Amino acid sequence: MPLVQIDLDRSLAERLGPQISDGVHQALVDGLGMDPTDKFQIFRTHAPGEIVFDPGYNGVDRRQLVSIQILMVHMYDVTTKYAMFDQIAKRLEEIGVRPEDLLISVVENGFEDWYAGKSRS
Domain hosting residue 39, numbered range: 2-109
DSSP classification of residue 91: H
Question: What is the pTM (predicted TM-score) of this model?
Answer: 0.93
Whether residue 81 is contained in a domain is answered as yes
CATH of residue 31: 3.30.429.10
Separation CA 107–CA 96 (nearest Å): 26
Please report, rounded to a whole number, the percentage of residues in the chain having pLDDT higher than 90.
Answer: 90
Whether residue 120 is contained in a domain is answered as no
Whether residue 119 is contained in a domain is answered as no
- pLDDT for res 121: 63
Sheet containing strand 102-109, strands side by side: 41-46, 3-9, 66-73, 102-109
Please report, rounded to a whole number, the percentage of residues in the chain having pLDDT higher than 70.
Answer: 98
Total domains, the chain: 1
Q: How buried is 90 (Cβ within 10 angstroms: 0-12 exposed, 13-18 middle, 19+ buried)?
A: middle
- pLDDT for res 115: 87
Instruction: Report, in angstroms and rounded to the nearest whole number, the Rg of the chain calculated over CA atoms.
Output: 15
Whether residue 118 is contained in a domain is answered as no
Positive or negative: CA dihedral 45, 50, 56, 57: negative
The upper half-sphere exposure of residue 2, i.e. CA atoms within 13 Å in the direction of its Cβ, equals 28
